[in-house]
A and B are shown apart, each in its own frame.
Chain A
Amino acid sequence: MTGTRGPVPVPLETQGRNLTQDVLDLLDTKETLQSNEDFPAIPQKDIKAALDRLASRSMVEYKTNDKEQVNLTPESEGIVANGSHEFKVWKAVKEAGKIAIKELPNIVGKDSASVGQGNAFKNKWIKKDGTDLVLVATEEPEDSMQKLLKDIQESHTVSDAKQLNDLKKKKLVTVTKVITYTVTKGPKYAKEMPVEHTDLTEDLLKSGAWETANFKPYNFAALGAVQNAGALHPLMKVRQEFRNIFFSQGFVEMPTQHFVDSGFWNFDALFVPQQHPARDMQDTFFVSDPPMADKPRADPASEKQMDQMEASSQRLFATEQSKKEKKPRDFEKYWNDVKKVHEDGAFGSIGYRYKFKDEETLRLVLRTHTTAVSTWALHRLAEDPRPARYFSIDRVFRNETVDATHLAEFHQIEGVIADFGLTLGGLQRFLGDFFANMGLENLRFKPAYNPYTEPSMEIFGYHKGLKKWIEIGNSGMFRPEMLEPMGLPKDMRVYGFGLSLERPTMMKYGVSNIRELLGHKVDLSWIKEQPAVRFDKE
């Protein structure tokens, strides 16, 4: 919450009076002031503001007194002025000698007649005579109610609690809380407010006046000035934290700059069969315009960025041999081998054994995962198979019905490690380290199914806050049916792992609805107020 910042201005003038000066003046003539007596007409908040202003400068000291005050209601004020109801009835009977009962309200008023008649009977002031009222007490009786209320009007107190309750019930009095102040001189009392400087200024420095100047006290209880700050989006802050982890582990960021991909790269090359449910209209956005992709071929723009990024490792690790042995990619062969491994089986696999449809490979989709780009990067790696680490964090699309945890768009974090002699336990070790950077330790792995990894492992971490095991991502080793058609050697193995960017961000910032995190409905104030990520400080 943004609070009120800066000093609260104190009004110098209240109802045309300079109240602070009045307090100083009065203290010059008497030792102790009582706010309710000396300034009865000033509202409590105004007198307090003036006293605070003086007290903060040690010019006065004051004590706050809380007390209850008993006040008369309009009815009881009437009784004080004209006597109680029973007295009014007695007086009327006395004056008339005799009054018909049904006439009484017309003489003393309805209210006084009903209450007063009963009380006057009880007090034995009057009595009934047939249908008339006649006098019993001939001398003027003492009106004790009037006297009681008159006392209260002066003292504003009622000492007997039972009596006070009784009066409250009869709605003759109300009780209010009153705050008053007892004021005495403070150590720095002076007859006038000294001249004060609100701030140290250039003029004060130049003139040297700062040495003797009085500075206005600073309000240390308030927030400072609002910063006209810009802000980065929390999701992007978490993204950067993940990128830092990847960079610290030697990963190269993959060129993910195309939302549209072909069935080939998004599914077929990943050994996802053409009848897989993920390829249903229900799950994937298909593109209607442009209508169809070309068969896979070189992509110079992505190539250029990859070359640029790998220039350093190329320089560092190049040997005479590795320069020579580069074999250029053959996209035609790749496409044929992918088809073969689906349709008839190849590379030690029996395949899915179904009729592979060429047109399915050319259908354009909004990529459902960035693994499509990892596939491209791994195919490129087959030119010169060598240990490599790639990652990406970018937008992916699913034709989902939107709810609190699903959007049609989200960010996939993906990591890929290619090397010779990799083991499954090695992947677990790597992920253990990766997630330790996020404060998640003691990972567990559950066997799972994924068309392009075998083994496939769901990653579970123990969440200390939620006190339970939660699924934090997916991982596995890419299938030979995916890697070998690329031309990667059989003994090169590739880890793949992924998670969404949104889920850890929602956990981090305590967001339960993904629409409050991504999309145009996100609250700008929320964006501005989320603290830095700092996974290591969890």
Chain B
Amino acid sequence: MPTIAVDKAALFKELGREYTTEEFDELCFEFGIELDEDTSQSTKPEDQAQPPQLKIEIPANRYDMLCFEGIALNLKVFLEKEKLPKWQVTPPKDGQLQELHIKPETAQIRELCSGVILRGIEFTQARYDSFIALQDKLHQNLARQRTLVSIGTHDLDTVKGPFTYEALKPEEIEFVPLNQTKKMNGKELMDFYEKDKHLGRYLHIIRDSPVYPVIYDANRTVLSLPPIINGNHSKITLDTKNVLIEITATDKTKVEIVNHMLIAMFAGYAESIEAIKIVSDHNNESRISPDLSPREWKAEVDYLNNVTGLDLSPEEISKLLSKMGHDVSPSKTDKNILDVSVPITRADILHQADIMEDYSIAYGFNKLPRVYPNKTAAVSAPLPINKLADIVRLESASAGWTEVMPLILCSHEENFEWLNRVDDGATAIKLANPKTAEYQLVRTSLLPGLLKTINSNKHHAVPMKIFEVSDVGFKDETQERKSRNERHFAAAIMGKTSGFEQVHGLLDRLLLMLRSKFMTREDGLKNAALEGYWIEEVEDKTFLPGHAASIKINLGGKNHTIGVFGILHPSVLHKFELPYPVSTVEFNLEVFL
């Protein structure tokens, strides 16, 4: 969630009263934003050096509250101190709209462009800073680091329309970038900003494209090289009166949301909003931008009341919804319908469910009637595999073993090499983007976690007896997700002696509890219908030769090999840095389901 810092005194002035920190916190809570910090209560020197700020967390879908102006406006409307403005475009004095021509080549890299002109704007330092900061917040959040949308703002009086949005070879684009003195071409610009802390991270968006997007005026002055940087020529200052905003994008919906937000937040400081004629016939995107008309919705009164558990009249609902910025009137033709005009600021309204939420917030979440509507009987049930796992967990603990919970993710080495196991490439689920080598794959065995747990507990008295019942993961081409979990049981003992007979005894005990009888190998192989288990020596490089056995079981007329136990090979002990002999047992619980 974005956090916005606003000047405390200025905000309270807008709201028409002072609030204590607690009072303002309460207001935020009711409205659904969060007061993160009031720096007037901070002891940090950097906070004390400047006027007190309120740091407010904004829900990720409220782009209309990403700056001081938006927070002040929405709270004033919520507190019924004013109505949300009705934004409208004003025709230019000479009747001639500025034009922006979009060339078909732009489709190769960033095909959409929109814009607006704010005439007669009055900047102060605070407004100017907020204007810049809002663009930055929109770039970070809605625009996904400028990949989807990017904004350029210009002093209209320094350039001359009509404007063109083109896509040219990097070498053909030459201009002085914002706040620089040297002219450079597109290629040089990439090198120049390579190491730049702020801009460097956006270069990848166009860097390897054969053509770069660029906006020119009628005199071939470069306005901007979206989504990287504007030209220095047209930069806005505190003295700028007429602002041209251009917005390039790859997402048709978001480009207009961004346009709306900039207008709604800053048109209040301007004399008028002027539209731009966009000519883009090749992709049917020719239009007059922006369209500031509210979205007209029909919301059902009974739906709003049913879901909230309220029973208010259409008039009362309308009044509450206006606190959230909506312009609502009961329909003249249908008593059950409210005509809702959703303002341009509320891009988050997608469904009447969103209007219903606004209704509940305006009414007050904590004033809603807390009544459980139904008395439906329900029958509970545990997941069979969890029920089975609990049996094994309780029996293991009863036998004197301690349950541990290592992580599911581990390194490739821990899962394979350190256990003297070989990765056949068809077994383990591997991760594409782990931040550390600790999380390279989903474990295929519980052993790495158990052995790491022992390693971290070397100070503990021996013998150390631990177990885990949890899932491992495997690749599985037959599944929709190309993988599956498997519930395993595993235990490990470290002591002065190997503890081989201890893990063996625990195995016997658990299988007894799972109703599996011990029998001879001969009997087991002779008759698969004879249920029970036996063990037989196995060669397994994880274990000391001659001291490993696989666990065989006849269940449901079938013979299964469910696991293995043994004394760990000294090379395994060495890798996991374990000072004493360790024996382990691990088996698959799923066959007992």
Contacts and interface: CB of A to CB of B under 8 A. Distances in A.
B466 interface: yes
Interface string A348-388: 11111111000000001010000000000000000000011
Contact of B32 (A289, A446, A527): A446
B438 to A, nearest CB: 8
Interface string B401-414: 11111111100000
Most chain-B CB neighbours within 10 Å: which of A289, A295, A301, A430? A289
Interface stretch (A28-36, A122-130, A211-219, A302-310): A302-310
B518 interface: no
A86 interface: no
A277 B32 contact: no
A286 B433 contact: yes
A332 B442 CA distance: 30
Interface in B419-459: 425, 428-435, 439, 442, 449, 452-453, 455-457
B408 to A, nearest CB: 6
B431 A366 contact: yes
Contacts of A477: 307, 353
B406 A447 contact: no
Given A287-B483, A293-B481, A423-B308, 20 more contacts: A252-B378, A259-B485, A260-B429, A277-B141, A277-B144, A290-B482, A292-B482, A299-B479, A309-B384, A347-B351, A350-B295, A389-B378, A423-B369, A425-B309, A425-B368, A426-B309, A428-B368, A446-B34, A454-B353, A520-B406
Which 10 A/B pairs are nearest by Cβ-Cβ distance? A250-B378, A447-B32, A423-B309, A449-B59, A290-B482, A309-B381, A520-B452, A288-B432, A313-B379, A230-B397
A121 interface: no
Contacts of B514: none
B360 A424 contact: yes
A190 interface: no
Given A287-B430, A353-B252, A447-B32, A230 B400 contact: yes
Given A424-B307, A527-B402, A316 B484 contact: no
A230 B59 contact: no
B350 A481 contact: yes
B475 interface: yes
29 contacts: A230-B402, A230-B465, A232-B394, A233-B403, A246-B380, A247-B380, A250-B377, A259-B429, A259-B473, A287-B483, A295-B480, A301-B484, A305-B385, A312-B379, A349-B351, A389-B380, A395-B408, A421-B373, A423-B368, A423-B369, A424-B360, A432-B370, A444-B366, A447-B357, A447-B360, A454-B357, A477-B307, A524-B453, A527-B402
Contact of A316 (B350, B379, B429, B457): B379
A480 interface: yes
B487 interface: yes
Contacts of B403: 230-233, 236, 527
Contacts of B62: 449
A94 interface: no
Contacts of B407: 407-409, 518-520
Interface string B361-374: 10001101111111
A52 interface: no
A414 interface: no
B71 interface: no
B57 to A, nearest CB: 10
A402 to B, nearest CB: 8
Contacts of B464: 524
Given A313-B379, A409-B409, A481-B351, A287 B404 contact: no
B238 interface: no
B363 to A, nearest CB: 10
Nearest to B142: A275
Interface in B18-58: 29-32, 34
A285 B252 contact: no
A406 to B, nearest CB: 11
A429 B400 contact: no
A449 B30 CA distance: 14
Contact of A277 (B30, B60, B405, B409): B60
B480 A252 contact: no
Interface in B98-155: 141, 144, 148
Interface in A156-201: none
B460 interface: yes
Interface in B300-325: 306-309
Contacts of A521: 456
Interface in A274-290: 275, 277, 281, 285-290
A477 B346 CA distance: 20
A275 B148 contact: yes
A397 B409 contact: yes
Most chain-A CB neighbours within 10 Å: which of B253, B381, B400, B477? B381
Contact of A286 (B29, B368, B379, B431): B431
Contacts of B16: none
A533 to B, nearest CB: 14
A240 B449 CA distance: 22
A455 interface: yes
A448 interface: yes
Interface string A461-505: 000000000000000010111000000000001000000000000
A297 interface: yes
B152 to A, nearest CB: 21
Nearest to B342: A350
B430 A430 contact: no
A528 interface: yes
Contact of A288 (B353, B405, B431, B477): B431
Contacts of B180: none
Contacts of A289: 425, 428-430, 475
Interface string A14-38: 0000000000000000000000000
Contact of B482 (A275, A293, A448, A480): A293
A455 B253 contact: no
B356 interface: yes
B405 A518 contact: yes
A294 interface: yes
Contact of A349 (B61, B350, B374, B394): B350
B33 to A, nearest CB: 9
B354 interface: yes
B251 interface: yes
A258 interface: yes
A409 B409 CA distance: 8
Interface in A392-436: 395, 397, 399, 401, 407-409, 419-426, 428-430, 432
Interface string B470-504: 01010101011111110100000000000000000
Contacts of B141: 277
A522 B404 contact: yes
Nearest to B376: A387
Nearest to A258: B485
A364 B348 CA distance: 28
A253 B32 contact: no
A285 B431 contact: yes
A47 B371 CA distance: 75
Contacts of B429: 259-260, 287, 289-290
Contacts of A291: 482
Contacts of A522: 404-405, 453, 456
Contacts of A350: 295, 350-351
A512 interface: no
Interface in B188-221: none
B352 interface: yes
Contact of B357 (A286, A316, A387, A455): A455
B480 A425 contact: no
Contacts of A254: 383
B529 interface: no
Nearest to A313: B379
A235 interface: yes
A520 B365 CA distance: 42
A516 to B, nearest CB: 11
A241 B141 CA distance: 39
